[in-house]
């Protein structure tokens, strides 16, 4: 038997309703915030990520699914959603569309990682991007959208951590301070951190090695190095969040660490899903679009990992709305009745009602057992006498009550009696 590739997962028919709920919540939040969906290819030219994401991230250094296609081009499966949207923005001249451009995506992402709980090789992100606004209001709006999404899912168990990593000016001074701090400790730190020390010391704050983490905990805080403009921007973001009633903690240890990231960075973190606690992460990246060859365009966004959200919801007992069940199952006793059941089901579906009948040639008893497994709300059995009287006893499965209904009126009856069910 051929098995599923390591680090990937199937969505089975019995659990797809959970994924649909998460995606529906994402789309509903997007609707409320007037954020339009965008779709970009699953694969892009490798250069988009290799420069678009920077070189000191794990993503670019170790995790990309890169291959040569049959035309000899280097292609990469998207490891994240932002770079593709930025390319789309530039390539389609969207800088001259009404700004801000607010877009969202729900996309698979691919990273060659060591699979573990909350860490897969194919996973999915819901992401939001707001292009064109330098205002703290855009940062706050993006954070507000992320927080609304988590609320809509029923997730309570996360903490919002925010930070500002300043602009090029403040970062230059901060990097110098970081180098002063880390220099005497370098021998105790991992090889990657030693490399980061030269290339981008900010990323040393993001190391996951225990020893490095310990050392990084005592590093100087970026917040002491913000220039007056960046400090004022951060103050405004915090004030806007407070005004919306969004609770946060300032964590100067949060960095995104890439050159194009500026000012606000944030994470929604949970302690209920083990080491991989960040379910949603984002920030401002005013430098990205220019770095990819577009005009200087401020941008802010986030991406939420859907598998981690699912894990969190399952681990903390967040309930999902009940899965879809058919409104009615119509069983047939013999061939003529089966044909009638088939026709009735067709007519009901044409009225928008979810209806089901036998496709397996089962006995009536087995059909009823199956209807029960499906969770059908009503069940009707058609035989000779039902055909003769053109009526049938509709059994309501929740309480066992029955009602005699004309065959042609089944649809009307169900519509009138269904109430708030999801058939």
Indicate whether 255 belongs to the interface with ligand ATP (CB under 6 A): no
SS3 144: helix
- Is 276 a binding residue for ligand ATP by CB under 6 A? The answer is yes
CB atoms within 10 A of CB 95: 16
CA–CA separation, 176 and 184 (whole Å): 14
Report if residue 192 touches ligand ATP, rule: CB under 6 A: no
Query: Residue 40 or 367: which CB sits closer to ligand ATP?
Result: 40
Total residues in contact with ligand ATP, by rule CB under 6 A: 17
Stretch that binds ligand ATP, among 91-99, 238-246, 304-312, 338-346 (CB under 6 A): 304-312
Tokens of 365: 């008893």
The secondary element (H helix, E strand) that includes residue 311 is helix 306-315
Binding status of residue 129 toward ligand ATP by CB under 6 A: no
CB of 161 or CB of 307, closer to ligand ATP:
307
Residue facing ligand ATP at closest CB distance: 305
Nearer to ligand ATP, 119 or 179 (CB): 119
Burial (Cβ within 10 Å: 0-12, 13-18, ≥19) of residue 209: middle
Assess 80 for contact with ligand ATP (CB under 6 A).
yes
116 backbone dihedrals φ, ψ, rounded to 5°:
-160, 180
- Judged by beta carbon, residue 141 or residue 307, the one nearer ligand ATP is 307
Does 307 help bind ligand ATP (rule: CB under 6 A)? yes
Contact between 111 and ligand ATP per CB under 6 A: yes
Q: Report, in Å, the least distance between residue 389 CB and ligand ATP.
A: 58
Alpha carbon 350 to its chain centroid, in Å, reads 33
Query: Can you say whether residue 80 is alpha, beta or left, with left for phi > 0 and alpha for psi between -120 and 50 degrees?
Result: beta
CA-nearest of 71, 108, 63, 128 to 301 is 128
Q: Quick one: which of 305, 326, 332, 411 contacts ligand ATP (CB under 6 A)?
A: 305
Which one of the spans 66-74, 110-118, 131-139, 358-366 is the region binding ligand ATP (CB under 6 A)? 110-118
What is residue 74's three-state secondary structure? strand
**Which is closer to ligand ATP, CB of 123 or CB of 285?**
123
The correct pick among 9, 119, 179, 362 for binding ligand ATP (CB under 6 A) is 119
Contact call for residue 300 and ligand ATP (CB under 6 A): no
How would you write 237-305 as a 3-class SS string?
HHHHHHHCCCCCEECCCCCCCCCCCEEEEEEEECCCCCCCCEEEEEEECCCHHHHCCCCCCCEEEEEEE
Q: Does 113 bind ligand ATP (CB under 6 A)?
A: yes
CB 85 within 8 A of CB 130: no
Q: For residue 272, what are its two tokens?
A: 């209920």
Residue 202 near ligand ATP by CB under 6 A: no
Q: Is 120 in the site for ligand ATP (CB under 6 A)?
A: yes
Which span sits near ligand ATP by CB under 6 A: 44-52, 168-176, 277-285, 364-372? 277-285
**Three-class SS state of 206:** helix
User: What are the residues binding ligand ATP (CB under 6 A)?
Assistant: 80, 111, 113, 118-120, 123, 125, 276, 278-281, 303, 305, 307-308
């Amino acid at each position: 038997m051929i098995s599923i590739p390591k680090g990937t997962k199937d969505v089975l028919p019995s659990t797809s309703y959970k994924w649909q709920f998460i995606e529906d919540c994402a789309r509903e939040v997007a609707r409320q915030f007037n954020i339009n969906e965008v779709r970009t290819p699953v694969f892009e030219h490798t250069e988009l990520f290799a420069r678009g994401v920077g070189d000191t991230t794990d993503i670019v250094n170790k995790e990309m699914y890169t291959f040569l296609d049959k035309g000899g081009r280097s292609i990469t499966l998207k490891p994240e959603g932002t770079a593709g949207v930025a390319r789309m923005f530039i390539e389609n001249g969207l800088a001259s569309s009404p700004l801000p451009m607010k877009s969202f995506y729900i996309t698979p992402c691919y990273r060659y990682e060591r699979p573990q709980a909350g860490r897969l090789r194919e996973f999915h992100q819901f992401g939001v991007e707001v292009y064109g606004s330098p205002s703290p209001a855009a940062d706050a709006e993006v954070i507000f959208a992320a927080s609304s999404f988590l609320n809509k899912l029923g997730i309570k168990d996360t903490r919002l951590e925010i930070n500002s990593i300043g602009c090029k000016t403040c970062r230059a001074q901060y990097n110098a301070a970081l180098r002063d701090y880390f220099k005497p400790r370098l021998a105790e730190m991992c090889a990657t951190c030693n490399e980061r020390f030269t290339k981008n010391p900010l990323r040393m704050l993001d190391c996951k090695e225990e020893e490095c983490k310990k050392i990084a905990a005592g590093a100087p805080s970026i917040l002491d190095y913000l220039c007056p403009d960046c400090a004022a921007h951060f103050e405004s973001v915090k004030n806007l969040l407070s005004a919306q009633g969004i609770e946060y903690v300032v964590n100067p240890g949060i960095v995104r660490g890439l050159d194009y990231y500026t000012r606000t960075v944030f994470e929604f973190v949970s302690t209920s899903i083990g080491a991989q606690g960040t379910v949603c992460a984002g920030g401002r990246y005013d430098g990205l679009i220019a770095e990819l060859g577009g005009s200087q365009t401020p941008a802010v966004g986030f991406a939420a990992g859907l598998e981690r959200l699912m894990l969190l919801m399952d681990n903390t007992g967040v309930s999902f709305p009940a899965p879809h069940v058919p409104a009615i199952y119509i069983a047939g006793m013999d061939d003529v009745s089966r044909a009638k059941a088939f026709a009735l089901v067709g007519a009901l579906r044409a009225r928008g009602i979810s209806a089901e009948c036998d496709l397996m040639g089962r006995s009536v008893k087995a059909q009823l057992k199956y209807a029960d497994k499906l969770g059908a709300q009503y069940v009707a059995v058609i035989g000779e006498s039902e055909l003769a009287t053109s009526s049938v006893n509709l059994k309501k499965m929740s309480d066992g009550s029955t009602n005699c209904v004309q065959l042609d009126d089944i649809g009307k009856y169900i519509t009138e009696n269904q109430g708030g069910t999801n058939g």
